[in-house]
Structure 1
Amino acid sequence: PIYCNINEIRSKPFLMGKCKNMPSVERLEGRIVLINSTKIYTKLCEISRLINRIYNIQIFVSIMSRFVMITTQLINTYNTIRDPSGGDIVLYVVLFLYIGLHFSKIFMVTNVSASTSSKAKDIAICIHDMWGLLPEFNSEIQNFSLQILHQNLKFTACGFFTLDQTLINSVIASVTTYFIIVIQLEKTF
């Protein structure tokens, strides 16, 4: 995780006092920190995109298969509960745990992806806070801010859908829709 504590930044030697009164070594150190931060951020974004490209198909297949398993298992659970000679309470618990297991896989993948994207966006706030502290480096800070703006880090599953919290809402809505359709079709036949 990437954290930005503005009080911690203020305590660094290259940031103490006004930039005009700082020795040139401390000003140079501040410039080096900004340049290194820019390089690190760029590399982390490149690595994140590479990982997303490598695991694109696996994530897509995993999420789609989990969606199908959740839907079919929910329908099987409904039929088991509806059957008067159905199983006991242990069977019901196992069926719901099975559904929860598959849903947790979708939740974990989307949560990690969404939090990584969110942390990448939080860097912009940290850079914005440095604007007033380092007026001498405003051009570097502005360039870094533009770089952050243009490197919008998002994770997708083969480009079909973004791996964020809206995916969880979509999965729940789709499973519910299919479940209701199956129940209605069952009653008509």
Structure 2
Amino acid sequence: MVILKDEGNEIERPILWMFFILCHCFMLLKMWNSVQEEANKSVIILHDIWNKYAEKRGIDKRLLYLQFISMRFLTCKLKFTAYGFFPLDWTFLHTIIASATTYIIILVQLKK
């Protein structure tokens, strides 16, 4: 196996790799955030359904349970977390970028 060593690409490869990882994290966070937003919107739709039945005065035991569920979902929003340690939302992406920037600055300082 022949290994070609190019002095100019020593720093470019890790930076490109980190850029790829950040793009991948961005796409994942965008998907999780959109699922979270849509799930929180569905609560409003559920509450609107209950309001339509309440206007017709067709409330029975099942619809009172529907009201209880809709009110509970309105007060408790859906949040994705990594095993409860940190939320998987846009603040997580900011944390990743800040950590990667700090790491790159340390590497550049140690290189000199």
* TM-score of the two chains, using structure 1 as the length reference: 0.41
Paired residue for 1:121? 40
More divergent stretch after superposition (130-139 vs 111-120):
130-139
Alpha-carbon spacing, 1:134–1:108, altered in 2? closer, same or farther (3 Å): same
Count of aligned pairs = 100
Question: Deviations 1:56-107 (Å, cap 9, x if unpaired)?
Answer: xxxxxxxxxxxxxxxxxxxxxxxx9xxxx625xxx95x66553332112212
Paired residue for 2:70? 145
SS in 2 for 1:101: helix
Unaligned runs of 5+ in 2: 1-5
Paired residue for 1:165? 90
Paired residue for 2:3? none
Supply the AA of the counterpart residue of 1:99. Answer: M
User: What's the % identity of the aligned pairs?
Assistant: 35
Unaligned runs of 5+ in 1: 1-79
Alpha-carbon spacing, 1:101–1:167, altered in 2? closer, same or farther (3 Å): same
Alpha-carbon spacing, 1:184–1:98, altered in 2? closer, same or farther (3 Å): closer
| CA drift at 1:177 | 2.2
Supply the AA of the counterpart residue of 1:175. Answer: A
RMSD: 3.1
* Distance in 2 separating the partners of 1:116 and 1:128: 19
**Bigger helix share:** 1
